[in-house]
Chain A
Amino acid sequence: MRGLWPILKRELLGLFVTPIAWVIMAAFLFIEGLFFYFLIMSYSSQSDVIVGMGPAEAFFGQSEFFYFPLVLICPVLTMRLFAEERKSGTIEALLTAPVTPAAVVLGKYLATLCVYVVMWAPTVLYMFILSSHGEIDWSLVATGYAGTLLVGMAYLAIGTLASALTSSQLAAAMGATVFILAFFVMGYAARGFDEGSTRSMLEHVAVSSLMNDFSRGLVDSRRLVFWVSFAIIPLYATIRTVESWRWG
């Protein structure tokens, strides 16, 4: 895919130079560090509280609080992607280069995914801290991270689409946040329903059910399909949006 690699590199540079990436990573690590600290404190004071679940599983699968920052962080990472280029007019130089809209969209999207991965990387340290004080199941850690990657892929794809739909960065970030939040709320709402199709449907889309499963090593293909399409559909819509600008 011609042009993907230079676009990805430039976008990374843009994210780190306008210090969005640094600010986000700092904020994220602060929040996750705090969460990790409370988790450790609760384990060391009352080790029987979460029966049958190690701290690593709890870290990934126990609380939505842990995923809540992503509702804001992902849209802020992606808000610039297209909105800024359209506002400043640089999109004209970009789209008149011999590159396909797909390469443009994927290059930009993958740049934010790289920042996302880098942002999570230091949390591996927490796992080493845990392992030095007790048993830790590394395969569960791996599925836990796979789950977070799936969530990031989906949220960033939604943010990318939002950024292509408006030339205002603020509107892009807000739009994506509201959309992602709606899925969050659905997860909570599921608890208000009795067992039945509505409840299981709502649980299916909830980030908590994905992470609950993955943190316990349960990789369900239906969840995989749902979350991967959650990433692919917005990306496809973004490519079509970029193509549609030509005919506007």
Chain B
Amino acid sequence: MIACHKLCKDYGSFRALKNLSFEVARGEVVGFLGPNGAGKSTTLRILSGFLGPTSGDARINGHSIVDEPIVAKSMIGYMPEAAPLYTEMRVGEYLLYRAELKGVARASRKTAVSRVIADAGLDGMDGVLIGHLSKGYRQRVGLADALVASPPLLILDEPTAGLDPNQIREVRALISRLKEKHTILVSTHILSEVEAMCDKGVLIARGELIAQGTLAELRALRRPRAVRIRIRGDASAAKKALVDIQGAGETTIEDSADRSRLSVSFSDPDDADATTARIVAALSRVQIGVVEVVPSSSLEQVFADLTARAPTATAGDAKKRKGQR
């Protein structure tokens, strides 16, 4: 559905995207991840046809966004970051205008608009001036606009930014419902969001691709750096027992009130499994019951680790360098 090939984008002398290539298959929901300034919006603007790439190309359903922008654009429902809207128009009026602009046939325009008003949770708002709407509701109007021409592909730039927790949950639920009929590329820097609604993730930082794959693949990219253990017994004793275990680093008591949760870091992540076994054995030797053992590798951590490192030292490069040695 989307195929980016070596996208580069220069803003003056600043290179915001560097040879970015990735693909999104039909029917997938892909989370587009990256810290602030990574180039997410730049990429989505190129895909939606608002910006042109300095070099490289992107194909939407086989149509180049550079050479056939009109065809490519007609397959996309795009919601820009912060959903800018005409404040002097009414919600229904605006959506009707957008439907007409996107070439929805006159006969089906009204039904299309009432469908998206219901889908985006805007019931009863169609006579309200957009200038009078709260941020969350403007965001919904932006989403309704993206949906109004029933495009096969949705590109949403941070659809949940600035919403309250209830609205975030509603938007996520909506996106999960839209999965059935649309391919979706959604940008965010909130990882739990990707875990909640996406099949895949594409991670970028500083304009470069860092990692892509299914959520499990992304998690597996990073070995756990620590293990979290819930115990029955004295936490201080447990801490003492774990001082000299091979492969284990520091032990911390996670919650000073509860004192049943410990986190033990690994000094050598490649040896995580054996170290975990040694930790459990050491604890049972001093009569401390182990109730729960969870390797800690949330997507949050993967994200932090992968994007914090210099892009020249990604997992793939590290392997290459090892191989040369």
B-binding residues in A (CB < 8 A): 2-3, 5-7, 9-10, 13-14, 17-18, 88-90, 92-100, 246-248
Across the interface, which residues of B come within 8 angstroms of A5, CB to CB? 100
Alpha-carbon separation in the docked complex, A9 to B86 (Å) = 14
For chain B residues 24-64, which have a beta carbon within 8 Å of chain A? Answer: 45, 48-52
- Which residue of chain B is the closest to A243 with respect to CB atoms? B52
Q: Are A247 and B52 in contact (CB under 8 A)?
A: yes
Of B85, B101, B102, the residue contacting A90 (CB under 8 A) is: B85
Q: Are A246 and B50 in contact (CB under 8 A)?
A: yes
Q: Mark B69-86, 1 if CB is under 8 A from A, else 0.
A: 011011010101010111
Q: Are A92 and B45 in contact (CB under 8 A)?
A: yes
Known: A93-B98, A97-B101. 14 other contacts (CB 8 A): A6-B100, A6-B101, A9-B97, A17-B88, A17-B89, A88-B87, A93-B80, A93-B85, A95-B49, A96-B76, A97-B98, A98-B73, A98-B102, A99-B70
Alpha-carbon separation in the docked complex, A246 to B82 (Å) = 20
Interface centre among B51, B76, B85 (most CB of A within 10 A): B51
- Which residue of chain B is the closest to A90 with respect to CB atoms? B84
Interface centre among A2, A13, A97 (most CB of B within 10 A): A97
Q: Are A98 and B88 in contact (CB under 8 A)?
A: no
Q: Are A89 and B82 in contact (CB under 8 A)?
A: yes
Across the interface, which residues of A come within 8 angstroms of B162, CB to CB? none
Alpha-carbon separation in the docked complex, A99 to B97 (Å) = 13
- Which residue of chain A is the closest to B145 with respect to CB atoms? A93
Q: Are A246 and B52 in contact (CB under 8 A)?
A: yes
In the complex, what's the smallest C-beta–C-beta distance from A104 to chain B, in angstroms? 10
Of A3, A14, A99, the residue contacting B88 (CB under 8 A) is: A14
In the complex, what's the smallest C-beta–C-beta distance from A243 to chain B, in angstroms? 9
Across the interface, which residues of B come within 8 angstroms of A100, CB to CB? 70
Across the interface, which residues of A come within 8 angstroms of B316, CB to CB? none
Alpha-carbon separation in the docked complex, A90 to B103 (Å) = 19
A96-B50 contact in complex given A6-B97, A9-B97, A13-B89, C-beta closer than 8 Å: yes
Across the interface, which residues of B come within 8 angstroms of A18, CB to CB? 88
Alpha-carbon separation in the docked complex, A10 to B130 (Å) = 14
In the complex, what's the smallest C-beta–C-beta distance from A242 to chain B, in angstroms? 12
- Which residue of chain A is the closest to B76 with respect to CB atoms? A96
Q: Mark B83-124, 1 if CB is under 8 A from A, else 0.
A: 011111100010001101111000000000000000000000
Alpha-carbon separation in the docked complex, A7 to B103 (Å) = 12
In the complex, what's the smallest C-beta–C-beta distance from A101 to chain B, in angstroms? 10
Across the interface, which residues of B come within 8 angstroms of A246, CB to CB? 49-52
Q: Are B86 and A92 in contact (CB under 8 A)?
A: no
- Which residue of chain A is the closest to B99 with respect to CB atoms? A6
A93-B88 contact in complex given A6-B97, A98-B103, C-beta closer than 8 Å: no
Across the interface, which residues of A come within 8 angstroms of B76, CB to CB? 96
- Which residue of chain B is the closest to A95 with respect to CB atoms? B50
Q: Are A14 and B86 in contact (CB under 8 A)?
A: yes
The 9 nearest A-B residue pairs measured at CB:
A89-B84, A98-B74, A246-B52, A6-B100, A98-B73, A96-B48, A92-B80, A90-B84, A6-B101
Q: Are A10 and B97 in contact (CB under 8 A)?
A: yes
- Which residue of chain A is the closest to B52 with respect to CB atoms? A246
Q: Are B50 and A7 in contact (CB under 8 A)?
A: no
Interface centre among B70, B73, B86, B89 (most CB of A within 10 A): B86
Q: What are 23 of the A-B contact pairs (CB < 8 Å)?
A: A6-B100, A6-B101, A10-B86, A13-B88, A13-B93, A89-B82, A89-B84, A90-B84, A92-B45, A92-B80, A93-B142, A93-B145, A95-B49, A96-B50, A96-B76, A97-B73, A97-B102, A98-B71, A98-B73, A98-B102, A99-B101, A246-B52, A248-B51
